[in-house]
Structure 1
Amino acid sequence: MIQETFNKTVRESKTVVVNADFVIVGGGTAGVCAAVTAARKGIKTVLVQDRPVLGGNSSSEVRLWILGATSHMGNNNRWSREGGVMDEILVENLYRNREGNAVIFDTVLLEKVMNEENITLLLNTSVYDVVKSSNTKIEAVKAFNPQNSTEYVLNAPLFSDASGDGIVAFKAGASFRMGAESRDEFGELFAPDKSYGELLGHSMYFYSKQTDKPVKYIPPAFALKDIKAIPRYKAIGKDDKGCRFWWFEYGGRHDTIHDTEHIKYELWKVIYGVWDYIKNSGEFEDVENMTLEWVGTVPGKRESRRFEGLYMMKQQDIIEQRQFDDAIAFGGWAIDLHPADGVYSELSACTQWHSKGVYDIPYRSFVSKDIDNLFLAGRIISATHVAFGSTRVMATTGFCAQAVGMAAALCTEYNIKPAEILENGRITELQNELNIVGQSIPNVPIKKATNLVSSATIEASSTLKLAEIPSDGNWFNLSVSAAQLLPLKANEAYNFKVSVDAKESTTLTVELRTSEKLENYSPEVILETKTFNLTKGEQLLDISFSETLEKDQYSFVTFLSNDKVSLKTSTKRYTGVLSVFNGVNKAVSNNGKQTPPDGIGVDTFEFWTPHRRPEGQNIALQISPAIEAFSTENIGNGYVRPFVATNAWVSSLEDENPQLKIEWDTPKTVSKIKLFLDPDYDHPLESTLMGHPEEVAPFTIRDYKIKDLDGNVLFEVADNYQTINTLKLEKATSLKGLIVEAKHPSSKVPASIFEIVAN
């Protein structure tokens, strides 16, 4: 028994002191990715989260899907899903939880963190103060857990604030901004005026379900009475739920930190009023048996403080796709601003303007300009309000925070401050370390000197020569324009043959298009146009283009819309090859073409986007000369996804036992082998609600063996579904070479490998 007598003084809480290399405050996607990345480099890391679950806005408490550069497959950013730990999490979630259950996603994140022995996880623990050893250095943070009534003092030489509102940076005195900059400060033409509002609000969601008997609903007294107070109320659908109601937003006219409780009550008012409208207005059919299954209790915050780093990103960096020497990640979500009045606004619920492709995000935006040992991560990084409209989304924040975790590891190794990563060539070391774990920084390949395979001779049992995309699929009606995206060679004049079916005599226009920038997939450059007279019925169209490319580049064989014409498709799919369509995706303000008003600094261009599987089959084509973009030269080139080129070895589908033989002139000491496989970086893999057509990407090699040149099996892998397979030998071994034997993922998809790294 514990018994204490009266104490005249204030009792002290139990206090636990934790000493670590790195403390991360905030357990959203940013904090999780930073912590896992740092821990895997041997850094003793504390991850502090003020909620009972990880994931922040993606957790079961809020239930927003994770998205980033892929943007619901609604923009021109091909193969742009974020890599590294962020990809690993989403691929894992796909395998376990393709239906998008937010509760299951909680467990995916929790397991990912708990599997790392170098992470100390503190859930339900709120950081409330900092201790500084000097004006510019944090010594410790203080936190309290009301569940176990324990105070924590967390000491470390390095800290990262991924808390969303920036509690650590704020308490430490770091410079910050809240609201929108003027147009004049950075020359941002899209900067909003006061009438639109300077802050994005919070959102809350609900889930509903059908039951087997009638369910009545009596709204609480505080529920919204007049549904017409919501100007967009006619957009409410009885079967919509969760983050499909992303526009249930409020709070942009308030202090989005200190007024959060007030904002929450207003959002509850909206939700329960909306459900009253659905259940009791008589405007909806088949709602008698419907009931509320879940209502959020924690608002999903979009914006509050943004802290000033060594560089502040701005609109022009995104739209012009400016390149940075210290790039550590890429972004690709639209510049997405919302009216401050949110759900009560007469304006469109959001205004989204896309760049033509992905853009660089510099390391400097993650380093506080005021506090020597503080990294910024998540939505609080150094960016203007306009640039924040793109960088704020969760796949981007998680992706970027991997760089923070890796930078913390380098700072620990060299005993340096975060800003010193920018000195003595260490930024290139950071970039390379990130790319080795799958970061895919644009224009920055893995250094050949850090990969033994780069110096090897590589032979393949077969290599795909794409002379034909077989005509074994359905007919696709050209009610919208369609194109086959192909990696074409410079100075080659191509001929294509395609089967078409015309309902009646008509014409069909075919164009050869490409992008102004090599690394983009916006087909704004029309190299050549052909018009064909079609007769009624099926026929083989012979298309010869005389214009050629100046450089090897992805290009579009484009068929302009004509609903009297259908194209034959193929069931075969290939790494680095896909079809795109000039259709509509209203989820991301895509109406087929971006047509901004004059004077806001945004480009006009068309959207050509894929369709989700099982739709979006390749267009059946005969191709001459055959496309030879899938050779072993791509192994060891340092790129681990399609970028300007396929960057993959792809075997022939007719090869029953595809294999690679890697051989060195002299034996090499190998301790670890990494295979970078194809998880379909074009698919967004939304974490919740959306659902996906399969649990493993169709391009991913499931089964393979790795042998030495004497035929001894070093590794045998079955039922793989992950992107990066890291295989560690029991001890460093001298090898003359390796043989990789793989099975095709299916009879319709040939085996492919982006990269093999040995060291």
Structure 2
Amino acid sequence: MKLQKESYDVVVCGGGLAGFCAAVAAARQGARTCLIHNRPVFGGNSSSEIRVTPHGAAQFHAYARETGILSELLIEERAHNHERIRENGWTNSVWDMAMYDMAVRTPNLTFHLNTAVTQVLMGDERNIHAVHAVIAGAETTLEIQGRVFIDCTGDGVVADGAGCEWRFGTEGRDEFNEPHAPEQASTDTMGSSIHFKAKDMGRPVPFQAPEWAIKHVDPAYFYEQGRHFYDIVSGYWWIEIGVPWHTIYDNEEIRHELTRHALGIWDWIKNHDPKMKDKAAKMALDWIGQVPGKRESRRIMGQYVMTSNDVAARTVFYDEVAFGGWFIDLHTAGGLLAATAEPASAEGYSKTSEYAQKTYCGPYGIPLRMLVSKDVNNLMMAGRNVSATHAALGTVRVMSTTALMGQAVGIAGAISVQRDIPVNELHLYAAEIQQTLLREGCFLPNVQHDDNRDLARQAVATASSSALVYGAGPENTDTTFGFRKKEDQQKYKTMHEPLHHRRGQWIAIGADRIDAISVCLTNTSASDQVVKAYMVLVDHIWDYRTEPSQPLAATELQVPTGSRKRWIDWNVGLTWLTGLPKTGYIRLDLDANPAVEWHSANTVIPGLTSAYEMGNGKMRRYLSDGGTLSFRITPAQSCYAPSNAISGAARPHASTNLWRSDPNEPLGQWLQLEWNDTVSIREVIITFPGHLFREYHWYEPFYRDPQCTKAYSIQAWLDDEWKEIHREEHNYHRHRKHVLAQSVATKKLRIVIEATHGDPSAAIYEVRCYSERSACSALQSASIS
């Protein structure tokens, strides 16, 4: 066996999404980084070997999609992949190659695939000196030394080898008083899954299961226990087994049992299911996974243990470095061997049940301290092995969230090395880590851009034009900002939307007053109806409190018999004297009245969302997108001012934070920054709209977001004229960094947007200008050109 020794600043073990983002982030910050992964492709559960599509906060919250390195990868994959996204089992090698391509092109990054960590070597009892890893098929052992180690192995292999404390199983109710915890602690964990994929052959195709496959004969096992066949092309998350097997030590036994079940389930679909067998007659089994996708094993104890109480309360942490927003998704121990599937599925995915109210959460912040080992001085972690209770893991474990954790610890690790800060003291430098994350395109719900090196913050922003919000209704034309497929657009035009629950529409404001507002309603009854209406202040776009404040105004709308898609007017008469703020959001709420329909607009107004009351004083996103409900507002609101591009936020939150040009004006629209004194600019960072509103699963093959800028020019005022200093012709990414060939001394800078991917308006969330280049600017400009 050959022994090969290597030495790095940062060593990341595990190349799933968390580990991959950690390694790329550390390398981009200039740290010499090594990534060790025990599989032939990156991505972990998201890879083509396992095929779980990444989920995250945008599944439940409008404009909550994760950004940063993960966003770059997902945008790149969609731009080049011919395959449609399905829930499970669809992933092909285009996704693997998107990750591989980024890894190969990242300076300072060395990686070893097919390489498993076998031993942890301690320098002393509180510091890891090196890890030993074996390259499969190469008869080579690596001894990899590092200054900072990051455990993203999922099973906590490095932390366990280093002697760290870890937990396995479920805490009892009495330990943290978590409402999601059982009365008694146990070793129960969520199970592992494998998926399958089928192919339509265009002709009847028989299937005969092997004798060793599980035989299913009872429809109740599926239809009465929450195991739903939402697709016959691929699936299913509920092909899951853990207990009574151990998710670490019994992984091979679990794989075999899952294979037996997967074949048996396909046999049931093809040959026995009265509802499915005709639909599946022409389908042939194309692929069955043989690497179980794990949900839970060791949880390494860190400087802070996050609980589901933190999630529910949206605790604000001073060292917030990531965010989550998936529901508290705790699968039933035993999976296929249990009496029912995961609870939400078992109750038919009710959106207003007691269970739904208890588990709907976010967006919430995640602290750095839960990603730092309490026992070893130079060890951090990201992924499903972080310092959280079993109940909190139900939400933080999803891959889009773990990718954010990974980028955070990668940046933190690089800062630790470069500034010689002990890992266990990094939380004291949270502000620096946070500002670096924001500069790299990430988002933190409770942290604002506060980088005093950003010259744009000293400028005055103006623009060629700015859009106004007049409202929208069913008569509007869908521009697919809600990513609605053509076959779905007619459904939105004709769908029935009774007011079974209180419903609210966020409206961005910016006109010092609201004289009147109208809503498009239908009375489906044989008598006149009354609907109570309210205007309330909200803190931000995810302020889901049913009654966040005393109403600014309230009335009863009269909806006469026979009204169909009729605009009902309300003379509101709100001004700053009656409590109307100058910027931000208000929410227009209509109370429940099932005899009345409040129609959706057949479009999505950027930066606005909608929600409905789910019970217990809480609202949740309306329908599957939180799109715009019909309303008209007088006067039109100026909520897309150019100053939004230097507001300190790069997505809708406390306001739209978006400059958007007048859609009636031709493109060639510009945003301008002007300084009192000459500034020297070397780097320009631009964040365009798009890839935020809905989750990745809604995006079509070869996708280019219509809101995203395609062609643009950066111009500087030099020698009394505008001179182009950079040009892009084929952009489709949202976060772009441009390092100029040489510094430019100017008092004025313009970004001229010449083309988008379909939106008639030019738009920008944020512009930053720096006199020096950042550590990873050269890489990122190259990687997304």
| Shift in CA distance, 515/414, structure 1 to aligned 2, threshold 3 Å | same
| Shift in CA distance, 242/405, structure 1 to aligned 2, threshold 3 Å | farther
Of residues 396, 417, 426 in structure 2, which corresponds to 1:421? 426
TM-score, scaled relative to structure 1: 0.88
Q: Where does residue 509 of structure 2 map in the other structure? A: 488
Whichever residue aligns with residue 623 of structure 1, its letter is I
Provide the rounded CA distance (Å) in 1 between the counterparts of 2:125 and 2:219. 50
| Shift in CA distance, 506/693, structure 1 to aligned 2, threshold 3 Å | farther
Are positions 1:712 and 2:723 aligned together? yes
Kindly state the Cα deviation for residue 696 of structure 1 after the two structures are TM-superposed: 1.9
Q: Where does residue 390 of structure 1 map in the other structure? A: 395
| Shift in CA distance, 478/275, structure 1 to aligned 2, threshold 3 Å | closer
Q: Where does residue 248 of structure 1 map in the other structure? A: 239
Q: Where does residue 588 of structure 2 map in the other structure? A: 557
The answer to whether the Cα contact below 8 Å between 1:337 and 1:386 also exists between their aligned partners in 2 is yes
Of residues 56, 61, 71 in structure 2, which corresponds to 1:87? 71
RMSD: 2.7
Q: Where does residue 4 of structure 2 map in the other structure? A: 16
How is 1:280-679 mapped onto 2 (pairs within 5 angstroms)? Answer: 280-281=271-272, 283=274, 284-351=277-344, 353-423=358-428, 426-469=429-472, 471-473=475-477, 475-481=493-499, 483-488=504-509, 492-500=513-521, 506-507=528-529, 509=531, 511-512=533-534, 514=536, 517-518=539-540, 520-522=542-544, 524-525=546-547, 527=551, 528-536=554-562, 537=564, 539-545=566-572, 552-559=583-590, 573-578=604-609, 580=610, 582=612, 593=614, 605-612=618-625, 618-656=628-666, 657-679=668-690
Kindly state the Cα deviation for residue 633 of structure 1 after the two structures are TM-superposed: 2.1
The answer to whether the Cα contact below 8 Å between 1:200 and 1:340 also exists between their aligned partners in 2 is yes
| Shift in CA distance, 501/480, structure 1 to aligned 2, threshold 3 Å | closer
TM-score, scaled relative to structure 2: 0.86
Is 534-543 or 629-638 further displaced after alignment?
A: 534-543
Kindly state the Cα deviation for residue 510 of structure 1 after the two structures are TM-superposed: 5.4
- 1:230-263 per-residue CA deviation (whole Å, 9 max, x = no partner) reads 8335666777257741111111333211011111
Kindly state the Cα deviation for residue 357 of structure 1 after the two structures are TM-superposed: 3.1
Q: Where does residue 257 of structure 1 map in the other structure? A: 248
Kindly state the Cα deviation for residue 691 of structure 1 after the two structures are TM-superposed: 5.3
The answer to whether the Cα contact below 8 Å between 1:37 and 1:402 also exists between their aligned partners in 2 is yes
Kindly state the Cα deviation for residue 734 of structure 1 after the two structures are TM-superposed: 1.9
Give the SS at the match of 1:91. helix
Unaligned runs of 5+ in 2: 345-355, 478-491, 771-785
Give the SS at the match of 1:107. helix
Q: Where does residue 62 of structure 1 map in the other structure? A: 50
The answer to whether the Cα contact below 8 Å between 2:269 and 2:280 also exists between their aligned partners in 1 is yes
Whichever residue aligns with residue 280 of structure 2, its letter is V
The answer to whether the Cα contact below 8 Å between 1:505 and 1:533 also exists between their aligned partners in 2 is no
The answer to whether the Cα contact below 8 Å between 2:708 and 2:757 also exists between their aligned partners in 1 is no
Kindly state the Cα deviation for residue 443 of structure 1 after the two structures are TM-superposed: 2.5
Kindly state the Cα deviation for residue 555 of structure 1 after the two structures are TM-superposed: 3.3
The answer to whether the Cα contact below 8 Å between 1:510 and 1:557 also exists between their aligned partners in 2 is no
| Shift in CA distance, 495/244, structure 1 to aligned 2, threshold 3 Å | farther
The answer to whether the Cα contact below 8 Å between 1:63 and 1:242 also exists between their aligned partners in 2 is no
Are positions 1:699 and 2:717 aligned together? no
Whichever residue aligns with residue 148 of structure 1, its letter is A
Whichever residue aligns with residue 695 of structure 1, its letter is Y
The answer to whether the Cα contact below 8 Å between 1:521 and 1:554 also exists between their aligned partners in 2 is no
Kindly state the Cα deviation for residue 280 of structure 1 after the two structures are TM-superposed: 2.3
Kindly state the Cα deviation for residue 141 of structure 1 after the two structures are TM-superposed: 0.6
Kindly state the Cα deviation for residue 507 of structure 1 after the two structures are TM-superposed: 2.5
Is 18-27 or 414-423 further displaced after alignment?
A: 414-423
Provide the rounded CA distance (Å) in 2 between the counterparts of 1:750 and 1:96. 25
Give the SS at the match of 1:525. coil
| Shift in CA distance, 127/663, structure 1 to aligned 2, threshold 3 Å | same
The answer to whether the Cα contact below 8 Å between 2:36 and 2:116 also exists between their aligned partners in 1 is yes
Kindly state the Cα deviation for residue 178 of structure 1 after the two structures are TM-superposed: 0.4
- 1:6-58 per-residue CA deviation (whole Å, 9 max, x = no partner) reads xxxxxxx1222121111100000001111111111111111111011111111
Give the SS at the match of 1:711. strand
Provide the rounded CA distance (Å) in 1 between the counterparts of 2:579 and 2:118. 59
Provide the rounded CA distance (Å) in 1 between the counterparts of 2:230 and 2:42. 28
Kindly state the Cα deviation for residue 625 of structure 1 after the two structures are TM-superposed: 3.0
Are positions 1:151 and 2:141 aligned together? yes
Kindly state the Cα deviation for residue 87 of structure 1 after the two structures are TM-superposed: 1.5
Are positions 1:50 and 2:58 aligned together? no
Kindly state the Cα deviation for residue 419 of structure 1 after the two structures are TM-superposed: 1.7
Provide the rounded CA distance (Å) in 2 between the counterparts of 1:675 and 1:622. 32
Provide the rounded CA distance (Å) in 2 between the counterparts of 1:670 and 1:476. 52
- 1:555-585 per-residue CA deviation (whole Å, 9 max, x = no partner) reads 333456778766676555443124x364xxx
Whichever residue aligns with residue 638 of structure 1, its letter is G
The answer to whether the Cα contact below 8 Å between 2:335 and 2:341 also exists between their aligned partners in 1 is no
Q: Where does residue 600 of structure 1 map in the other structure? A: none
The answer to whether the Cα contact below 8 Å between 2:462 and 2:643 also exists between their aligned partners in 1 is no
Kindly state the Cα deviation for residue 620 of structure 1 after the two structures are TM-superposed: 4.6
The answer to whether the Cα contact below 8 Å between 2:325 and 2:361 also exists between their aligned partners in 1 is no
Kindly state the Cα deviation for residue 94 of structure 1 after the two structures are TM-superposed: 2.2
Kindly state the Cα deviation for residue 444 of structure 1 after the two structures are TM-superposed: 1.3
- 1:149-192 per-residue CA deviation (whole Å, 9 max, x = no partner) reads 22111111111000000110000101100011121212212212
Of residues 731, 735, 740 in structure 2, which corresponds to 1:729? 740
Provide the rounded CA distance (Å) in 1 between the counterparts of 2:699 and 2:235. 13
Kindly state the Cα deviation for residue 517 of structure 1 after the two structures are TM-superposed: 4.9
Whichever residue aligns with residue 312 of structure 1, its letter is V
Kindly state the Cα deviation for residue 221 of structure 1 after the two structures are TM-superposed: 2.1
Q: Where does residue 261 of structure 2 map in the other structure? A: 270
Whichever residue aligns with residue 640 of structure 1, its letter is A
Kindly state the Cα deviation for residue 478 of structure 1 after the two structures are TM-superposed: 4.0
| Shift in CA distance, 140/196, structure 1 to aligned 2, threshold 3 Å | closer
Are positions 1:218 and 2:208 aligned together? yes
Whichever residue aligns with residue 605 of structure 1, its letter is K
The answer to whether the Cα contact below 8 Å between 2:706 and 2:758 also exists between their aligned partners in 1 is no
Are positions 1:119 and 2:146 aligned together? no
Provide the rounded CA distance (Å) in 2 between the counterparts of 1:328 and 1:276. 46
Provide the rounded CA distance (Å) in 1 between the counterparts of 2:437 and 2:270. 51
Q: Where does residue 779 of structure 2 map in the other structure? A: none
Provide the rounded CA distance (Å) in 2 between the counterparts of 1:538 and 1:210. 42
Provide the rounded CA distance (Å) in 2 between the counterparts of 1:510 and 1:41. 54
Give the SS at the match of 1:702. strand
In percent, how many aligned pairs have the same letter?
A: 30
| Shift in CA distance, 368/515, structure 1 to aligned 2, threshold 3 Å | farther
Kindly state the Cα deviation for residue 289 of structure 1 after the two structures are TM-superposed: 2.8
Whichever residue aligns with residue 659 of structure 2, its letter is W
Give the SS at the match of 2:456. helix
Q: Where does residue 135 of structure 1 map in the other structure? A: 125
The answer to whether the Cα contact below 8 Å between 1:666 and 1:736 also exists between their aligned partners in 2 is yes
Is 262-271 or 530-539 further displaced after alignment?
A: 530-539
Kindly state the Cα deviation for residue 604 of structure 1 after the two structures are TM-superposed: 5.3
Unaligned runs of 5+ in 1: 1-12, 583-591, 595-602
- 1:665-698 per-residue CA deviation (whole Å, 9 max, x = no partner) reads 2221211100011124121103xxx653871222
Give the SS at the match of 2:244. coil
